[in-house]
Amino acid sequence: MALDDSDQRRPGRGGGHLVGRGKELAALLARLATARLVSLTGLPGAGRTRLAREAAAQTRRELVWETGTAYEPEQLDGVAARLRHRLGGRRGALLVLDDWEALGGAGTAFVASLLIDLPGLTVLVVADRPRHLRGESVVVLPPLTVPPAGCAPADIVRYEAVELLADAFGEAAVARDPQGAAELCRRFGGVPGPLLEAAAEWLSGGRAVAGIPPGKGQLESAERSYAHCSRVERLLWRRLGVFEGDFERDTVRAVCGSGALPSAEVLGILDRIAPHVLLRDPDTGRYRLPPAQRTVATRASDLEGERWSAVLHHRRWAAGVARQAAEWWSAGRQDEARALALRELPDLRAAMDPATGPLSPHVESGTALDVIVGLWFLWTACGHTAEGRERLRHALALHQAPAPPRALWLAAWLELDLGSPEAADPLLATAWAAAVREGDDHCLGLLAHLRGSVALWQGRPDAAAAEYRDALELLGDIQDFGPGPAGCRASLALALARTDPEAALDAALGGSGGPGLVRDAWAEAWVRYARAEVLRWEGDAGAARLALSALRTFLDYGNVVGAVCAGELLADAAVLRGDVLKAAQLLGAVDALCRTTPPAPYRVPVRRRIEAALKGSTWTQAYATGGRIGLARLVGVG
């Protein structure tokens, strides 16, 4: 049974009120007042039939309602004769043709003939797509608005899709779990029919939102829509099933354009099917297959034997995205690189699993490692460290050939960032031998830098400084991949901050860019942190300003290591100016951020100084308050 669009109503008002459709109703009434042929289109379950009923009732015209599923194409001549007899010579009648896509070309010819024979007739066609007849006015019924990710609980109820849930199931149902309701609306795209069907299962309990599959009604409607598409439209629909998240038009052309579907034709076909197949984000313009349409795509692709070819094209595209993001990061376009990686992350994740590709896991692991290593900055600088380690471990375990040195370098870095330098050491040794064997001098520089970071973590600043100097010689002034020379100079400044402040400041000034060097915002944050270290050890209150600036950058990027170091240094600066309660708040927030990460010996001196200042004072409540508020809110980020 197909989805019943009439479900989109307010139960408490007897079905006479549409939720969130005032603007669309006004637009439809205006078209019906000026055009003889109006087509009301949109995704299955969007509420087309319900809106057509409401509009027909408000026009106060003589109304004739016909449903396409009640007839076969060969019966249409008889239906046309009956309507000509009933409506001939009358003016102002409204003929509504619902579910008219079921009759295909015969249904379109039927509409054209009636418009010619009955000049006083207005026709409203309710179907997946327009009729493409002269003088046709098209109204596309969009989904209801949905709360964006991260929407505040107080704002969630203001969105149309959530209002629909509250009206259908009661406000208490939404109030029990507003974030779950918002996630449900996003998953089913604010399309009323599928949303209400899924909400009934969600509210019955026992299943998380992400695990709710499309219901029977959704699948049947999507299968009907698929059957009404042309051959090339079905081919594109099947290929779109490879996407895990949302996607851009150019991405569709890159991934789906090949063979029987030339790249030059893809976007035109996409435009034809998008209004009745895809969800479109009005803010970004990106598309997404709703759950039912994606299920239809993957099933049909499997039946046609096409899925693995589509997956290969998708993985090549994913590897290219990872390379592009890495190049942008190295070129100083770090915000753009991070945004690109996060935007495409659902599909990049699919390409990171060698066990789900069409080839053997050993062969697929090469592509997976290319993607994972290309996104090195996402794991190390942007807060996704644990995920990066798990994905890299999985890919390396399935990689039968000698592991690439850059993959081993990244694996060692992730172990260090998660507090396991003992796990990083053997990886560093293996990576060094592999880099020497392959003649990868840039990787040798990265490994020297990482060995310096291990030494610094262990509280051996002199050894760290020596490693960083070696790294600078190997890296030169070209940031080919990885932290680069600016980041290495920032690390050197950090190693020298407590033992040679003057040399640390010299290194810091060289680490923030200069003639011929790419500006590195990430390195600059560490430079500010290193300068704050020098000022704090010298008793200068200016350390707080620099530490706060670095902390905000680390929090913006989502980097826990940097945020913890800068947060503790900011608390230490608060101790310096005598604000013990502020120091306690900051320390509580830092500890809440890194409960699972063991403290590095490097951090011990600062930590001991803060804790010594807190002894004997009434700081316990402030510490607990800081943990509840969180570091970001304490310093005004987000």
Beta bridge partners of 287: 247, 280
Q: How far apart are CA 139 and CA 25, in angstroms?
A: 10
CATH of the domain at 446: 1.25.40
pLDDT value at 9 more than 50: no
- CA dihedral of residues 277, 278, 279, 283 (deg, nearest 10): -140
Please state the pTM of the whole predicted model.
0.89
Shared-domain flag, residues 397 and 409: no
201 assigned to some structural domain? no
Q: How far apart are CA 71 and CA 461, in angstroms?
A: 83
Say what the pLDDT of residue 237 is.
98
Shared-domain flag, residues 32 and 127: yes
Phi/psi for 41 (5° steps) reads: -120, 175
Say what the pLDDT of residue 336 is.
96
Shared-domain flag, residues 456 and 376: no
Shared-domain flag, residues 361 and 470: no
Say what the pLDDT of residue 408 is.
97
pLDDT tens-digit readout, 580-604: 999 999 999 999 998 766 678 888 9
Residue that is last in its domain, among 110, 141, 172: 141
178 assigned to some structural domain? no
Number of domains in the chain: 5
Q: Token pair for residue 20?
A: 């969130």
Closest CA to 553 of 570, 536, 539: 570
Beta bridge partners of 136: 37
Q: How far apart are CA 48 and CA 34, in angstroms?
A: 20
| 460 burial type by CB count under 10 A (0-12 exposed, 13-18 middle, 19+ buried) | middle
In which band, very low, low, confident or very high, does the pLDDT at 401 lie, cut at 50, 70 and 90? Answer: confident
Residue that is last in its domain, among 471, 491, 519: 519
Say what the pLDDT of residue 17 is.
59
Average pLDDT over the chain, rounded to an integer:
91
- In contact, 178 and 153? CB cutoff 8 Å: yes
pLDDT value at 479 more than 80: no
Q: What is the 3-state secondary structure (H, E, C) of 465-484?
A: HHHHHHHHHHHCCCCCCCCH
Shared-domain flag, residues 397 and 327: yes
Closest CA to 107 of 92, 83, 127, 90: 127
Tell how far CA 28 is from the center of its chain: 34
Domain that holds residue 625: 539-634
Shared-domain flag, residues 397 and 415: no
Shared-domain flag, residues 327 and 339: yes
549 assigned to some structural domain? yes
Shared-domain flag, residues 36 and 118: yes
Shared-domain flag, residues 394 and 448: no
The arrangement of strands across the sheet holding 94-98 comes to 63-67, 94-98, 122-126, 37-42, 136-141
Residue that is last in its domain, among 490, 519, 548: 519
461 assigned to some structural domain? yes
- Residue type at position 114: L
- CA dihedral of residues 365, 366, 367, 369 (deg, nearest 10): 80
Tell whether the torsion through CA atoms of 521, 524, 525 and 526 is positive or negative: positive
Shared-domain flag, residues 500 and 446: yes
Q: How far apart are CA 212 and CA 201, in angstroms?
A: 8
2 assigned to some structural domain? no
End-to-end Cα spacing for the chain:
46
- Classified as helix, coil or strand, 23 is helix
CATH of the domain at 274: 1.10.10
269 assigned to some structural domain? yes
CATH of the domain at 77: 3.40.50.300
175 assigned to some structural domain? no
Say what the pLDDT of residue 357 is.
85
For the chain, what percent of residues have pLDDT higher than 70?
A: 95
219 assigned to some structural domain? no
For the chain, what percent of residues have pLDDT higher than 90?
A: 80
Shared-domain flag, residues 501 and 436: yes
Helix axes 307-330, 291-304, angle to 10 degrees: 120
Beta bridge partners of 282: none
| 462 burial type by CB count under 10 A (0-12 exposed, 13-18 middle, 19+ buried) | exposed
Q: How far apart are CA 569 and CA 159, in angstroms?
A: 42
Shared-domain flag, residues 111 and 54: yes
Mean pLDDT (whole number) for 36-50: 95
Count of other CB atoms within 10 angstroms of residue 82: 12
